[in-house]
Amino acid sequence: MNIQRPIFALVLAGSLAAMALPASAQLTEQVPPPRLKWSFAGPFGKYDQAQLQRGFKIYREVCANCHSMDMLSFRNLADAGGPGFSEAQAEAVAAEYKVKDLDDLGNPIERAGRLADHFPAPFANELAAKATHGVAPPDMSTLAKARSYSRGFPWFVFDMVTQYQEHGPDYIAAYLNGYKDAPKGFVLPEGGHYNEYFPGHTTAMPPPLQAGQVTYDDASPQTAEQYSKDAAAFLMWAAEPHLDARKRIGFQVMIFLIVLAGLMYFTKKKVWSAVH
């Protein structure tokens, strides 16, 4: 009995220490992006409408040239918890796009977009999309949830409590802002661009954002850093359009459950008092 205790403690300590070991020999090393402040982070987070509108402008003018947004429709621009377009404004945006359709005789035509249409893709198919840079630019509908980075133990345990779910936008903003000259000795493959945060550091996309490239309608700074943040926020909305409602309803549900748990607890105590 007595000898078990120190052995037990040793094994326990060893296990915990092992968990703190940094991940060695990962297939592709990834530099963790800096944690940014997002309006939609935390239990009371909400999208910033102005930011989403700026982000949409960047998507339209820059990203949409190569990246599709298959699962977003023009009507989503007018949805609650989104960029806050009115239905008329969303309709106007839709009408500026050309959407493929068939006429009454079955011939392919192009017509003005309607609210119900999805955002049209810039390329006809995957092969055409691959042609420019050798890799097809990924669709952006779920991109902000499809990108993440590992935080390791014990940080991911803290994240459960702090509700850190913004790995995607943090990575995307860092990536967009992370193009730099390759360090000495780094071998950059043909057609590749050095990016600080892309796993393996070689990315096929050329740096997409430069200062002053997109004219903002509000007074926000037109720097590449601001563009990166706004684009990342817009992509997060595109991936998770019901975030506002989710967190709002979540708060109501939590309050309800806590009240119910309290009532159940006292009921249990009262019921069992007959036995004790």
Q: Which is nearer to other proteins, 101 or 139 (CB)?
A: 139
Minimum CB–partner distance for residue 165 and other proteins (Å)? 6
CB of 203 to other proteins, least distance (A): 14
Q: For the chain, first and last CA: distance in Å?
A: 35
Q: Which is nearer to other proteins, 215 or 273 (CB)?
A: 273
- Could you tell me if 41 and 111 are in contact, meaning their C-beta atoms sit under 8 angstroms apart? no
Least separation in angstroms between CB 211 and other proteins? 30
Residue 19 Cβ vs other proteins, minimum distance, rounded to whole Å: 6
- Nearest to 17, CA basis, from 194, 153, 181, 220: 153
Q: Quick check: 238 and 69 in contact, CB under 8 A?
A: yes
Find how far residue 123's CA is from the centre of its chain.
23
Q: Closer to other proteins at the Cβ: 150 or 210?
A: 150
> Least distance (Å) from other proteins to the CB of residue 225?
24
66 in Cβ contact with 228 (< 8 Å) = no
CB-nearer residue toward other proteins: 118 or 225 = 118
Q: Which is nearer to other proteins, 201 or 227 (CB)?
A: 201
C-alpha closest to that of 68 among 113, 124, 108: 124
Checking DSSP bridges between strand 98-102 and strand 108-112, what pairing results, if any? antiparallel
Distance (Å, rounded) from C-alpha 167 to C-alpha 151? 9
As measured in angstroms, the least distance from the Cβ of 143 to other proteins is 8
Looking only at the bridges linking them, the beta strands covering 193-194 and 108-112 are unpaired
Of 65, 92, 109, nearest in space to 205 by CA? 65
Nearer to other proteins, 168 or 208 (CB): 168
Binding residues for other proteins (CB under 8 A): 1, 4, 8, 11-12, 15, 18-19, 21, 23-28, 43, 70-71, 73, 75-76, 79, 114-116, 138-139, 141-143, 145-148, 153, 159-160, 163, 165, 167-168, 199, 239, 241-242, 245-247, 249-251, 253-254, 256-261, 263-268, 270-272, 274-275
* Triad 35, 71, 171: Cα angle to 5°: 15
Q: Least distance from C-beta 185 to other proteins, angstroms?
A: 24
Minimum Å gap between C-beta 217 and other proteins is 27
Looking at this protein, which amino acid is placed at residue 205?
A: M
Torsion region of 42: left, alpha or beta (phi above 0 gives left; psi -120 to 50 gives alpha): left
Q: State the Cα–Cα distance between residues 33 and 24, nearest whole angstrom.
A: 19
Kindly tell me which of 59 and 227 has the beta carbon lying closer to other proteins. 59
Task: CB nearer to other proteins: give 8 or 186.
Answer: 8
